[in-house]
Amino acid sequence: MKIRFLAVAACALSVVAICAQGTYQLAVMKYNGGGDWYANPTAVPNLVKFCNEQLGMNINTDVPNVDVGSPDIFTYPWLDATGHGNITFSPQEAENLRNYLIGGGFLHVSDNYGIDKFLRPAMKMVFPELEFMELPFAHPIYHQKFDFPKGLPKIHEHDGLPAQGFGLIWEGRLVCFYDYQCDLGDGWEDRDVHNDPPELHTTALRMGANMVQYVFGGGIN
């Protein structure tokens, strides 16, 4: 048990150490359950490029796929997840993700329409003591380099519902941001995938850049 604890602690510290280096790499989180974790393949690479150009960051342009239950997740300070369907975690995967998030990692989940009813119970396995909370419009994640006074922008329409940004907050730190009824990931994709107008594509990328700036500490807190 002591050896296992030390291994977990070492992995958690590795996330903090990576963030301290000033260079980052984002990854896409693979999960089980049958949902299409692989949706939006150009989304995160486009976000990385935008952040490097607009924020002067030095994010690695290679965006790997990493299994949620793998110790490799501790290599990446940001995990991105999306999909339209079922998402499940085994007890080991839930524990691994919990240790990652408590240890300094961050998870962004983009509702690609249909993931909500699966995501919430899955994340309840990770943090049974936490509930998703809607972030107020005044939250600093909406007010970094780019200002979003009305909160999360609406990128794609589905059910006529407003876009909402939900968070899981562990000991005062936002460890997971979930964009619901928004489709940020779709908005980050190459424009010809969804035929988005340039201004909508840019709006989505600007919101994503705010998230990156907030998480990596270069913006307003």
Query: What is residue 219's predicted lDDT score, i.e. its pLDDT?
Result: 57
Examine residue 220 and state whether it is found in any structural domain, yes or no.
Answer: no
Segment-wise mean pLDDT, segments of 10 residues, the chain, 221 residues: 40 50 85 86 96 96 97 97 91 98 96 89 98 97 97 86 95 96 91 88 97 84 61
Query: What is residue 34's predicted lDDT score, i.e. its pLDDT?
Result: 82
Q: pLDDT tens-digit profile of 6-54?
A: 344 444 445 555 555 557 899 999 999 888 888 888 999 999 999 999 9
Query: What is residue 200's predicted lDDT score, i.e. its pLDDT?
Result: 94
Split into its structural domains, the chain has a count of: 1
Query: What is residue 21's predicted lDDT score, i.e. its pLDDT?
Result: 54
The closest of 72, 88, 78, 74 to 35, measured between CA atoms, is 88
Query: What is residue 163's predicted lDDT score, i.e. its pLDDT?
Result: 94
Domain, as residue range, for 22: 2-215
Instruction: Tell me the whole-structure pTM to 2 decimals.
Output: 0.90
9 conformational bin, left if phi > 0, alpha if psi -120 to 50, beta if neither:
alpha
* Integer Cα distance of 212 and 218 in angstroms: 9
Query: What is residue 8's predicted lDDT score, i.e. its pLDDT?
Result: 44
211 half-sphere exposure, CB direction, 13 A CA radius = 35
* Integer Cα distance of 62 and 74 in angstroms: 16
CATH number reported for the structural domain that contains residue 162 in this entry: 3.40.50.12140
Strand partners, 214: none
Examine residue 221 and state whether it is found in any structural domain, yes or no.
Answer: no
Q: What HEC string does 103-121 produce?
A: CCCEEEEEECCCCHHHHHH
